Structure 1
Amino acid sequence: MDNILIVSVTVFLLCTVILLYRNRLSLMLKSKYRNKLPSGTLGWPFIGETLEFVSCAYSDRPESFMDKRSRVYGKVFKSHIFGSPTIVSTDADVNKFILQSDAKVFVPSYPKSLTQLMGESSILLINGSLQRRIHGLIGAFFKSQQLKAQITRDMQKYVKESMSSWKEDCPVYIQDETKKIAFHVLVKALISLDPGQEMELLKKHFQEFISGLMSLPINLPGTKLYQSLQAKKKMVKLVRRIILAKRNSGICRVPKDVVDVLLNDASEKLTDDLIADNIIDMMIPGEDSVPVLMTLATKYLSECPAALQQLTEENMKLKKIQDQVGESLCWSDYLSLPFTQTVITETLRMGNIIIGVMRKALRDVEIKGNLIPKGWCVFANFRSVHLDDRNYDCPYQFNPWRWQDKDMSSCNFTPFGGGQRLCPGLDLARLEASIFLHHFVTQFRWHAEADAIVNFPTVRMKRRMPVMVRRVES
């Protein structure tokens, strides 16, 4: 009897706290902001709508969370995700404003576990002049012809090495193969490290590090976050050893990698710890973004024979010219293939490798009649814009030809973000994908296994895109 009474009182008190929390929050919002806030719901107390948001993110239709609410509340609505009241935007103009605003209006906002792993000095989190300085230095180096030539040579080398081991009777796991290739290429560009024992050790620690990016924010021995933080410490130690070796041997005035670029800068704020942290953060595209781009391009081409045929014909013509001239292709040869670039663009639109960005408002901001209160987060969702039938005809259909006469500078297309935090590696991602596709379609014909034809989240998180290949006779 006593136990029943205790349980009843506990449930009553809990319900009372929840109701008081909801009523207080509702009254606060109504009194302070009246009718300026976008429509929407904050969901359950404390957890908000996080569970449904995450559940949809891991489904075949991550945009279903946004679509369901935008149909009821409009393209901009309020919610409560990852522990913070949030304004969600699926409006291209609102997203553009958010991306182009400076650090006086919005600052990056990420889940706590990711913030802890990135560190306070990460380029993803820092603001102001230091962020602009680092972003500018890295962006200029990534755009240089020197690095593009190096990336092309390395990419050709590692692609050929990988493809030479492919067997016709065995499935080839595209995502696994492209991860190996892209990671080697990127690490070489960052710290001039070649494949070998140190590279394998770095890769092992990196796998442990990246597995905790979206873990629970509990830093205790045995937890995923703790293991990831320990792995990052080991990587930082390795990268600092490389930085120290460069300092002792004399900093190269003509930079060979990103470490050289940052060491050449005179700013005292660019400490060895800051450089090491950011080098590790910049390894993430080599593990995630670029391999997913190449994997999804393979997936979409497998589903669209007409696009695959035109892509193959275009690349075969280039290969024939290369064979006649007897010289290796350079980076401009790959990027000059018009249909190949439309395939990559359409893959970026449909695949949405960067689903969106989260920012925190430093003051009350009003955009197109929608208020984002100070202290609230805002989620600029790119995927919903890219898959909106008001922006693209038949948005779920892979159609590279749609880009032949379309302006890619439109705010309806933001696969790499925008503004001061535009991804500095966007040109290199296109280059690597172009090189991979060229060698793939000129050397092999393939068919995807039945379970390989899956949507973006599944191919990214669970599957490795198995295909059965057959070599093309010379």
Structure 2
Amino acid sequence: MERIKEGVIIFFCQARKRLSARVMGIIKQREHEEEEMKKAIREEDFLDVIISNEDLDYEEKVSIVLDILFGGFETSATLLSLVVYFLAKSPNLLNELKEEHESIRAKKGEGELLNWKDYQKMELTQCVMFEALRCGNIVKMVHRKSTRSINFKEYVIPKGCKVFPIFTAVHLDPSLHENTFEFNPMRWTDKAKMNKKTMAFGGGVRICPGGEIGKLQTAFFLHHLVISYRWKIKADEMPIAHPYVEFKRGMLLEIEPITIS
């Protein structure tokens, strides 16, 4: 087991090193572009904004780019996949979720778009998303470096050490979650406990800035999905960690619109 853990860490480090080198090359290429050439080729984008920040060194700029690329696409898509998977396996829960969204839709005018107040009413939806994040462990760990010596329980983490917080250890800790391998969204009905027992979006000064919009996108997608469609998943389909979350068969769905009589 220790060899497997060591292999996973080495894999992550090597992959990040290659990606960092690629992003660093792009940043340096951008820096050497003439100002007039920039304007002629394209409009300013998020990378230009990051490069222009003189308070950041190269390593910090690369780290921000990698975090944005991963967090802005892969995690949201995987969360959606996990929620659709778990709901297909939980028909009673799906019916309850459908009732929640039909109640919200019934109070909207014809063609009226969803808004922030509607999102706040999606209480069961929030529980479903948190439980999918806990069970799915989309991001299993993060890479950090201690900027000062830290006392943690009986341990001392010296300044400059690389630290790998393992989110999965928190999400599957039986002292925090009863029946840890059971998909049970109702464990999140106490909102005060949500952010204390899950680390899906990190925490502290490095908490994911896009966490809320990711949940918003998922909730609004589910609103239209559960009201308008029904779906089935192959019996042998399941999520696997490889090392990120993937589906055995690519999660092919049998989906059909719901006919309203």
TM range (shorter): 0.7 to 0.9
How far apart, in 2, do the equivalents of 1:258 and 1:117 lie? 18
Equivalent residue, structure 2, for 1:447? 232
Residues 235 and 280, structure 1, Cα contact 8 Å, conserved in 2: no
Please, what TM-score do these two structures have when normalized by structure 2? Answer: 0.78
How far apart, in 2, do the equivalents of 1:394 and 1:418 lie? 25
Counterpart AA for 2:83:
A
Tell me whether 1:313 sits opposite 2:96 in the alignment. no
How far apart, in 2, do the equivalents of 1:340 and 1:409 lie? 13
How far apart, in 2, do the equivalents of 1:345 and 1:358 lie? 23
Measured after TM superposition, the shift of residue 244 of structure 1 is: 6.8
Q: For residues 355-375 of structure 1, what are the alpha-carbon distances to aligned partners after superposition, in whole Å with 9 as ceiling and x for unaligned?
A: 122334456543111233455
Equivalent residue, structure 2, for 1:397? 182
Q: For residues 36-65 of structure 1, what are the alpha-carbon distances to aligned partners after superposition, in whole Å with 9 as ceiling and x for unaligned?
A: xxxxxxx9xxxxx3x31167x6xxxxxxxx
How far apart, in 1, do the equivalents of 2:167 and 2:180 lie? 13
1:200-349 to structure 2, matched below 5 A, reads: 229=22, 258=46, 262=49, 267-269=53-55, 278-279=64-65, 282-322=68-108, 324-349=109-134
Please, what TM-score do these two structures have when normalized by structure 1? Answer: 0.46
Q: For residues 243-267 of structure 1, what are the alpha-carbon distances to aligned partners after superposition, in whole Å with 9 as ceiling and x for unaligned?
A: 9788579x99xxxx7468x38x985
Q: 331-340 or 341-350, which moves further after superposition?
A: 331-340
Counterpart AA for 1:53:
K
Equivalent residue, structure 2, for 1:407? 192
Residues 114 and 220, structure 2, Cα contact 8 Å, conserved in 1: no
Unaligned runs of 5+ in 2: none
Match of 1:435 among 199, 207, 220: 220
Specify the structure having the higher radius of gyration (Cα): 1
How far apart, in 2, do the equivalents of 1:259 and 1:233 lie? 13
Tell me whether 1:115 sits opposite 2:5 in the alignment. no
- Structure 1 residues 276 and 457 mapped into 2: Cα distance closer, same or farther (>3 Å)? closer
Tell me whether 1:461 sits opposite 2:234 in the alignment. no
Equivalent residue, structure 1, for 2:164? 379
Matched residue of 2:181: which SS?
coil
- Structure 1 residues 305 and 409 mapped into 2: Cα distance closer, same or farther (>3 Å)? closer
Matched residue of 2:169: which SS?
helix
Q: For residues 380-414 of structure 1, what are the alpha-carbon distances to aligned partners after superposition, in whole Å with 9 as ceiling and x for unaligned?
A: 21111111111111111111111112424654321
1:147-166 to structure 2, matched below 5 A, reads: none
Counterpart AA for 1:82:
I
Residues 356 and 379, structure 1, Cα contact 8 Å, conserved in 2: yes
Report the number of matched residues: 255
How far apart, in 2, do the equivalents of 1:440 and 1:54 lie? 41
Residues 335 and 431, structure 1, Cα contact 8 Å, conserved in 2: no
- Structure 1 residues 266 and 457 mapped into 2: Cα distance closer, same or farther (>3 Å)? closer
- Structure 1 residues 445 and 113 mapped into 2: Cα distance closer, same or farther (>3 Å)? closer
Tell me whether 1:52 sits opposite 2:4 in the alignment. yes
Measured after TM superposition, the shift of residue 268 of structure 1 is: 4.1
Equivalent residue, structure 2, for 1:29? none
Match of 2:10 among 53, 67, 82: 82
How far apart, in 2, do the equivalents of 1:367 and 1:407 lie? 24
- Structure 1 residues 53 and 314 mapped into 2: Cα distance closer, same or farther (>3 Å)? same
Residues 188 and 194, structure 2, Cα contact 8 Å, conserved in 1: no
Residues 232 and 254, structure 2, Cα contact 8 Å, conserved in 1: yes
Counterpart AA for 1:299:
Y
What RMSD over aligned residues (CA atoms) do the two structures have, in Å?
A: 4.0
Residues 236 and 277, structure 1, Cα contact 8 Å, conserved in 2: no
1:182-193 to structure 2, matched below 5 A, reads: none
Measured after TM superposition, the shift of residue 297 of structure 1 is: 0.7
Residues 138 and 245, structure 2, Cα contact 8 Å, conserved in 1: no
Unaligned runs of 5+ in 1: 1-42, 44-48, 58-80, 84-109, 120-228
- Structure 1 residues 270 and 248 mapped into 2: Cα distance closer, same or farther (>3 Å)? farther
Q: For residues 399-431 of structure 1, what are the alpha-carbon distances to aligned partners after superposition, in whole Å with 9 as ceiling and x for unaligned?
A: 111111242465432111111211111011101
How far apart, in 1, do the equivalents of 2:240 and 2:224 lie? 23
How far apart, in 2, do the equivalents of 1:409 and 1:456 lie? 25
Residues 386 and 413, structure 1, Cα contact 8 Å, conserved in 2: yes
How far apart, in 2, do the equivalents of 1:472 and 1:396 lie? 32
How far apart, in 1, do the equivalents of 2:82 and 2:27 lie? 29
Measured after TM superposition, the shift of residue 294 of structure 1 is: 0.4
Matched residue of 2:175: which SS?
coil
Equivalent residue, structure 2, for 1:77? none
- Structure 1 residues 267 and 355 mapped into 2: Cα distance closer, same or farther (>3 Å)? closer
